[in-house]
Amino acid sequence: MLVTGAAGFVGAHLVAALERRGHETVAVDCFTSFHPRDLKERRWSTLTGKSSNDVLNIDVCDVEATSNPRLAVPFDAVVHLAAQSGVRYSERHPETCVRSNVLGTYSVLALASRLDVPRVIYASSSSVYGDTSGECREEDLSVAPTSLYGVTKRSGELIARAFWERQGLRSVGVRLFTSYGDWGRPDMAYFRMIVAALTGTEFPLLADLSVRRDFTYIADTINVLVALVEREGDFPDPATLVNVGGGAPCSLQALKDVVQEITGRELRMRQQPPTLGDVTSTCASTQRMTELSLPIPTTSIVEGISQVVEWITPLISDARDWVAQSE
């Protein structure tokens, strides 16, 4: 099967999991400069045991590039994870975000349609919901994203439905809720908090400590994606959407307390202006995951952060550089 964004955080973990289960994968990634290349290459080689030369360096936003003969094979499925992530980044670099998340999604769906791929699984985001006070439910058609990033992800969902209605391409959009874990993104709060605590530096706080996120440990995210890949039969909705989150949000204050407890260090903070378009709370409804017999994320924030601290501690010098390069 084809996996785009394969050297990214979720992508590399997914390729490793799929190959452990006997699936053959074709990995695509164009190694953008959003995150340090060193991090992406080391993540890929450590998790998959392969060289970065095994990754096809293709920009999926380039429609012509997706005509590469190595992509013209009868894939069982396409998992499209290539994207420009980050609410804050989308406000600074809107054109890049639109190109990656809208044109890139269209290009991959068009490729899958040409190849008659039975199913496409693509990454959406909890950001499509905007600011909500309760559970985020997939059947809510009145979603109103507050960030450009969320708008681009919602656009991808609508493009996927158009491909079903016009060309019969079946798809599943996974609305990911703050995936975190080892080999994760150094621009995210949990990663920066841990690095700040371990190095005695200040953490730049870009939100109120009461802000809540439905943190989802990477192993739980991967379990859902693998279940979707291996699921037999069609979904009731041929262009379905499904949350990937446990429905147990955690405040930034609680996250700070967990980081301090596990590292045994004080976490100093420096208040900065909030990120435009960021939301105050996310909480996934797990009802659709239950209806589709998908595994519900259950890893607690204490368990997950403990795993990250164990991974990052021997790499702290590198991790500090990765954070600096991602600012």
129 carries an active-site annotation: no
Residues in the chain: 327
Q: How many beta carbons lie within 10 A of that of residue 270, not counting itself?
A: 10
Tokens 């990663």, located at residue? 191
Annotated active-site residue in 149, 180, 190, 217: 149
Task: Tell the burial category of 166 from Cβ atoms under 10 Å away from its Cβ (0-12, 13-18, 19+).
Answer: exposed
In 80-99, which positions are buried (b, 16+ CB within 10 angstroms) versus exposed (e)? bbbbbbbbbbbbebeeebbe
Residues involved in catalysis? 149
